[in-house]
Amino acid sequence: MLERLKQLEVEALTEVSNVPGLKELNDLRIKYLGKKGPIQEVMKNMKDMDPEERKSVGQISNQVKAVISQEIETKKEALEAEAIALQLANETIDVTLPGRMPAIGTIHPLQAILSELEELFIAMGYTVEEGPEVEWDHYNFELLNLPKGHPARDMQDSFYITEESLLRTHTSPVQARTLLAAKGKGPIKIICPGKVYRRDDDDATHSHQFTQIEGLVIGEDITMADLKGTLLELVRKMFGADREIRLRPSFFPFTEPSVEVDVTCSKCNGSGCSICKGTGWIEILGAGMVHPNVLEMSGFDSKKYQGFAFGIGAERIAMLKHGIEDIRNFYTNDLRFIAQFK
Ligand code: FA5
């Protein structure tokens, strides 16, 4: 019997030392130390033994149980420590890895140009005004010396909403609104950036919705030279001192004289390309001296007050500045295009 117990001890210790995991170790504990285990079996037979043998078998059985139990406990601690070490190794955080950068948006190139132009004019003493995009015919045309039926209305193909209201075709109605609000008293020095709408066919340089910046300066001593100086300052600040401009005589019913201002194309530098349609020039704004009729209709004494006005095409400025070939890029929301202007 004692032999059997010693043999069980050896077997159990061998199995415990080779056990691969905690589950298998628990199986071994049940196998050797459980109620139906071999040591318990030996102990059950002790009642048939003589007292001497019973005593020694009892003692040895308890010793063997204690040794196996101790060994299982030691192995369990070792396996648990191993499992924790493995888990820690797997969950290691490399604090030296660079973090994930959040995607940071960019200011739309058109908005950036508008902000730049606004700052430029604010620095020259202008204030910024706003006007409605759905406008009365009265402000968009009539107060600008364009009565109903005037042929020059055809210069700006319009989206009418009713007979009397439309999507404004230019930012010039803000001139009329500002003059009326001033109640015949100058000086005035404002700009008004905003969206305008025309039934133009979309192409590389035309869009049915685009952005203008209106300017209006009224005072008692304003001349065409002030207009020219202001436009030169604008073009030099925006495009650099090497860009050339040309003033072409033009016609707007609300200014007299009127000019259109072109800048040398930034893509071809004047030699002619697809952006400038081979001319070497891109038209960026219309301007002129405010027509006396416009001043009078809005309550200003045109003998006392004169002034100039201009309407800049903001997309054209952005295109020239960044060499953008197609105005439609501003409106198609292609992130690959927008992300270039960080
Ligand atoms: C006007 O809209 C006048 N109201 C400008 C003005 C204001 C003249 C004050 C005198 C005094 P024009 O239609 O030329 O003018 O437009 C002005 C600028 O807007 C043009 O020079 C051009 O840069 C831009 N523009 C005109 N049509 C379009 C279009 N379809 N798409 C993009 N830009 C355009």
Residue 276 Cα to ligand 1 midpoint, Å, equals 16
Cβ atoms 198, 166 nearer than 8 A = no
Calculate mean pLDDT across residues 219-224.
96
Residue 212 Cα to ligand 1 midpoint, Å, equals 7
Which pLDDT does position 49 carry in this prediction?
A: 84
Entry pTM: 0.72
Alpha helices in 195-258 (DSSP H): 224-239
Give how far the C-alpha of residue 193 lies from the chain's centroid of Cα atoms, to the nearest Å: 22
Round the average pLDDT of the chain to a whole number and report it: 91
Query: Which ligand 1 atom is at minimum distance from the Cα of 206?
Result: 31
Query: Which ligand 1 atom is at minimum distance from the Cα of 156?
Result: 13
DSSP single-letter state for residue 254: T
The answer on pLDDT for 267 being more than 90 is: no
- Other Cβ atoms closer than 10 A to 172: 31
Query: Which ligand 1 atom is at minimum distance from the Cα of 169?
Result: 2
Which pLDDT does position 254 carry in this prediction?
A: 96
Q: How confident is the model at residue 139 (pLDDT cuts 50, 70, 90)?
A: very high
Q: Find residue 127's DSSP bridge partners.
A: 190
Which pLDDT does position 135 carry in this prediction?
A: 97
Which residue is listed with tokens 């199986």? Answer: 27
Q: How confident is the model at residue 159 (pLDDT cuts 50, 70, 90)?
A: very high
Q: How confident is the model at residue 4 (pLDDT cuts 50, 70, 90)?
A: confident
Give residue ranges with CB within 6 A of ligand 1.
156, 170, 172, 198, 200, 206-207, 210, 212, 252, 255, 283-288, 309-311, 313, 315-316, 327
Calculate mean pLDDT across residues 234-249.
86
